[in-house]
Amino acid sequence: MTNQIVGNHALNKVMESNILKISQEAKAAKAQNPEVIDATVGMLHKEDGKLFKYIQVEELLKGLTDSEMYFYAPVNGTKEFSNGVVDWVFGKHKAAIMEKFHLSVIPTTGGSGALSNSLYNFNDFGQAMLIPNYYWTPYENIAEEAHVGVETFQLFDENYHFNLKDFEEKAKSLAKRQNRLFLILNDPCNNPTGFCLSKQDWKNVIGVLNEISRNNVPVILVHDSAYIDYQMKSHESSRDVYEAFLDLDENILAIIAFSGSKTFSMYGFRIGAQLGISKSKAIIDEFNRVGDYSVRARFSSVSRPAMSVIGKIFANPDIKKQFIEQIDIAKDLLRKRIELFEEVAAKEGLNVLPYGGGFFVGIETNNQNIFKDLVNDGVFIIAMPGMIRIALSSVKLTEIERLVKIIKKHI
Ligand SMILES: Cc1ncc(COP(=O)(O)O)c(C=O)c1O
């Protein structure tokens, strides 16, 4: 018996690299000195420094009725939201997916809620999940909270292509050791690098998963699609990876973790969804059983105003079309920033990791003191083992040349 106040399982919980906290520090430093460059924030900002808000979201929010605004949201989502998110996520591949898979949607508190529900329900305590070595650091915390460990594979090979060989080795080894494979791939626009897998990369990944599954090992593929709407591709073609999903074997469960925060700029509203697909009906029944339970037991239900607004955008073809046009404007903002960033980096001889879209670009470094060195020069970024993450989502075009030159000095 001990007299510690927290439970044994909570003894080692310490938030070591808290991105939101570093962002607050950067914000405070910029308020003191406008010359400070804050490249930490994973929220899209315009060139005038204000948040990029979607007109459709703004207007619909203002017109919500009391029930659309204040009531509890249904655990399985409104029809508009839950059917609409399937159309949105799969785009032109929806019919093929619906034909081959059983499918279920569970609304969650952001993409984070989708990830934490998945990690909690589809692992045994003490097991480990597999992710690439460059990853969004909260994965570690979400896993720890679910009593799950983290193992990594190298995201890049020597030519900065997807490292299929290392993925295959690590996936097979982990599956063999624990008789389960739970994989999260954040794609397209991996946070922190901006890297996108090709459709062929996805086909190769799914080939490996199928091989593992055929040995009677439970395989769970979580597709963290948080930045799917910010890939430097058209709305339709950014969904082409789902063609590769059609080849998934019968006993695999794929869960798409959808984030309303990024797609709708509704970060503070906390809305997202888990979309479970499997060719096995029994697996989707299990997905529903544990998913519904966890929603009720962990956060009860999600943000009703966000669900109402998103449902209206999904259900109204004109508004949806206008909204997609607005997303193109948001993507243009990011495109201009990365083009300038890469141009200045090339001039400075600075190697940038391959960027295919999203809010972040990455640069590898061996400088273990890089975070402090950059802060001393008025630049805030997020430092991770072996690299730094620069949030293009929150820097202005006018800051980019100076930003690249300061990074070059310390990298
Ligand atoms: C890679 C990745 N996945 C998931 C999320 C979850 O976002 P949210 O919970 O706000 O939807 C984020 C947010 O920053 C992210 O960067």
Task: Using the mean position of ligand 1's atoms as its centre, give its distance from the Cα of residue 313 in Å.
Answer: 21
Closest atom of ligand 1 relative to the 359 alpha carbon: 16
> What gap in Å lies between CA 199 and CA 196, rounded to an integer?
9
Decide: 395 and 26 in contact? Cβ < 8 Å.
no
Q: From 3.50.50.60, 1.20.1740.10, 1.10.3720.10, 3.40.640.10, which CATH number describes the 68-316 domain?
A: 3.40.640.10
Position 20 scores a pLDDT of 77
Task: Using the mean position of ligand 1's atoms as its centre, give its distance from the Cα of residue 111 in Å.
Answer: 5
Position 3 scores a pLDDT of 84
Q: Which two tokens stand for residue 384?
A: 């991770």
> What gap in Å lies between CA 387 and CA 383, rounded to an integer?
6
Q: Which residue has the CA at smallest separation from atom 14 of ligand 1?
A: 42
Decide: 239 and 195 in contact? Cβ < 8 Å.
no
Fold classified for 16-54+320-410: Aspartate Aminotransferase, domain 1 (3.90.1150)
> What gap in Å lies between CA 157 and CA 152, rounded to an integer?
14
Domain with CATH 3.40.640.10 in the chain: 68-316
Decide: 76 and 287 in contact? Cβ < 8 Å.
no
Q: Which residue has the CA at smallest separation from atom 3 of ligand 1?
A: 226
Decide: 145 and 161 in contact? Cβ < 8 Å.
no
Q: Which two tokens stand for residue 252?
A: 């695999």
* pTM, two decimal places: 0.96
Q: Which residue has the CA at smallest separation from atom 12 of ligand 1?
A: 226
Q: Which residues pair with 162 in a beta bridge?
A: 156
> What gap in Å lies between CA 10 and CA 22, rounded to an integer?
23
Position 12 scores a pLDDT of 86
| C-alpha R_g of the chain | 21
Position 1 scores a pLDDT of 61
Task: Using the mean position of ligand 1's atoms as its centre, give its distance from the Cα of residue 346 in Å.
Answer: 30
Q: Tokens 């943000």 identify what position?
A: 303
Instruction: Name the E strands within 10-137.
Output: 37-38, 102-108, 128-132
Position 355 scores a pLDDT of 98
Task: Using the mean position of ligand 1's atoms as its centre, give its distance from the Cα of residue 225 in Å.
Answer: 9
Position 14 scores a pLDDT of 86
Domain with CATH 3.90.1150.10 in the chain: 16-54+320-410
Q: Which two tokens stand for residue 22?
A: 């570093």
Task: Using the mean position of ligand 1's atoms as its centre, give its distance from the Cα of residue 42 in Å.
Answer: 9
For the chain, residues with pLDDT lower than 50 are none
Tell me which residues have their CB closer than 6 angstroms to ligand 1.
42, 110-112, 136, 186, 191, 224, 226, 259, 261, 267, 272
